[in-house]
Structure formats: C-alpha cells, structure tokens
Amino acid sequence: MHISLKREIKRSHFGQAGLALLALVVIAAAIAPLLTAYDPDQQTAASLLAPSADHWLGTNHVGQDIWSQLLYGARTSLAVGFGVGILGLILSIIFGVSSALIGGIYDQIIMRIVDALIVIPMIIMVILVAAYIRPDLFILILLLAALSWQGGARVIRAQALSLKESGHIGAARAMGAGRFYVARRHIVPDLGPILLVEFIYGVRRAVFIQAGLAFLGIGDPMLVSWGTMMRDAMSFSYLNVWQWWLIPAGVALSLTIIGLTFVSHAAESVLDPRLRGEAVA
C-alpha cells in the first residue's frame, strides 16, 4: 500500500476529531491521581452529596467521590479495550495468516469455525461464560480476546491470500524462505492498515462489552468502571443525582466509543478507495 495511513487519518476531519477524543481519555487515565485528591475506592459517610468545590461531581451512595471514579473508570475501559484489542489482533493474525498460507483442510476447519463464531452473537456468549466464571479484570480480557478474533481472522486471511500470490512472496519462497519466515517478514508487515482497523474494531467492541457486563453486574463488583457507575446511578434515577452521576459516566463511555468509531472510519477510507475523497476528508 502506498498510502500513508497516518497522513490519511490526520487529514480527515473524522480522524482528527477521533484522535482528539481518544487523547483526552488517555490523558485523563494517565494523570488521574493529579486531577483528583480522592481515592475512587475510599468509602465515606458523606453519601449522595451534590457537586461542590470539594467534590466536583458530588459523591455516590457509599460516599465515593464521583469525579475520581470517572477518571479511574477511564483506566478500566482503556485497559480492557487495549488488552483485548492487542490479544484479539494477535489471534486474528495467527489464524488468518496460517489459514492463508497452509490452506487445505486446516484452512477449511478454521474458516468454518470463524463463520460459526460470527453468526453467534458474541455478547450472549460472553454473558453465559461470565455468569459461571465471574471473571476479574485479567480473566475478562482473556475471555473477550478468545471470543473476538473471528472477524479479523477472516479479513486478514483474505488479504494474506492476495499477498501470497504477489511476485515478491513467490521470489522469497523460490529462494528457499520457509513459510514462517515469509509470514513474519513479508505478509504481516504488508497487512498494515488492515491490522490497525481490526485493532480499533476490537478495542471498541471490548470497551462496549466491558461497560455492558459491568452494567449487568457481572464481573468484579469492586472494580471502578463506567458501567458500574451507571448501574449504581440507575437505582437512584428518581433523585436528581443522575445529572452529575449517571450522565458523566455515560457521556465518558460514549465519547470514548465515538472517538474510536471516528478513527476507524478515517482508517477504513484508506482501505476502501471508493469511499476516499469524500467531502468530509
């Protein structure tokens, strides 16, 4: 590909807006201790306080500072998002590239499993498994990664198949390069933009599902997360606390997902030239 992915994303308005939103969330997560004096886990007797100079967003039902929870919640979302994004991408590359290079029965088996996993709604599989094993943060990342590589594997396999037929791969093979060497040296680096788009898809899905699971109350109840905040705030929706408790958590989650959507849209236009040169670019 002779299109610079970085330039393409930065040139598009969507790409810029998305990167700005993501930067905001990453910075908030990184310097959370500097932005708040409170420990997000610290329970106090001062519960359900309205916003004040001390507690910018008030306190929740067990007296935890909501502003701190909002900041530290970004850490949970980003940890799950990027953890699952990377692990899922690695699995996608392993299964996609090996399918394309080995072919035959192996390819058939992997692709039928991929198709099957695409048809079964992922969230409901996650809910079922999580209901039994009640995962902590680390196990949750592993579980989501194990169930979210299928879409990427199919796309990567298709791209690897077309790369496999191109001249330089044939030349490398003719000079005695092994399959693994070709995969590592020639195919994976050439997958560039596709890998980025699949990675962002994975991150977005994981952020979304983690929030959803926390909202349902599956998983670690002690973990500070936007989904848990919304779940707790929902039971107090008859009070006016939703203004500084529910809405900020929901907006933070939505802005993170919107940021990821915008960046992936900008990156997609690199992959699909028909969509390029839009007025929005």
Partner 1 sequence: MTGKYHLITYAVAFIIILALNFLLPRMMPGDPLTAIYGDEALIAMTPELQEHLVERFALDEPLWQQFGAYLGALVSFDLGYSYYYNASVFSVIIGSLPWTLLVVGTSLVLSTLLGIILGIESGWRRGSKTDRALLTGLMGLNGFPDFFLGLVLLIVFGVVLGVAPLSGAVTPYAGLTGFALFLDVLRHMALPVAALTLAHLAGSYLLTRNTMITVLKAPFMLTARAKGLKPGSIKYRHAGRNSMLPVLTMTGIWLGRLVTGALFVELVFAYPGVGQLTYQALLSRDYPVIQGVFLMVAVSVLAVNFIVDMIYPHLDPRVRHAY
Kindly list the residues in this chain that would bind partner 1 in the complex (CB under 8 A): 14, 112-113, 115-121, 123-125, 127-129, 131-133, 208, 211-212, 215-218, 230, 234, 237-238, 242, 246-247, 250, 253-262, 265, 272, 274-275, 278-280
Six-digit token pair at 71? 């900041």
Between 29 and 177, name the residue whose CB sits nearer to partner 1: 29
Q: Is 165 helix (H, G, I), strand (E, B) or coil?
A: coil
The DSSP symbol for 62 reads: T
Least gap, CB of 172 to partner 1 (angstroms): 31
Q: Which of 112, 201, 202 is nearest to 157 (CA)?
A: 112
Structure tokens at 70: 């909002």
Please say which residue, 159 or 269, places its beta carbon nearer to partner 1: 269
The rounded distance, in Å, linking the Cα atoms of 71 and 68 is 5
State the minimum distance, in angstroms, from the CB of residue 8 to partner 1: 17
Minimum CB separation from partner 1 for residue 141, in Å?
19
Angle at 37 between CA 77 and CA 247, to 5 degrees: 45
How far apart, in Å, do the first and last CA atoms of the chain sit?
A: 19
Least separation, in Å, of the C-beta of 215 and partner 1? 6
SS3 content of the chain, % helix, strand, coil (to 5): 75, 0, 25
Complex with partner 1: residue 165 or 272, whichever CB lies closer? 272
Measured from the CB atom, the residue of 55 and 204 that comes closer to partner 1 is 204
Shortest Å, Cβ 151 to partner 1: 11
CB-wise, 187 or 206, nearer to partner 1?
A: 206
Assigned token pair, 38: 């409170």
**CA separation, residue 131 to residues 43, 124, 226 (Å):** 27, 10, 20
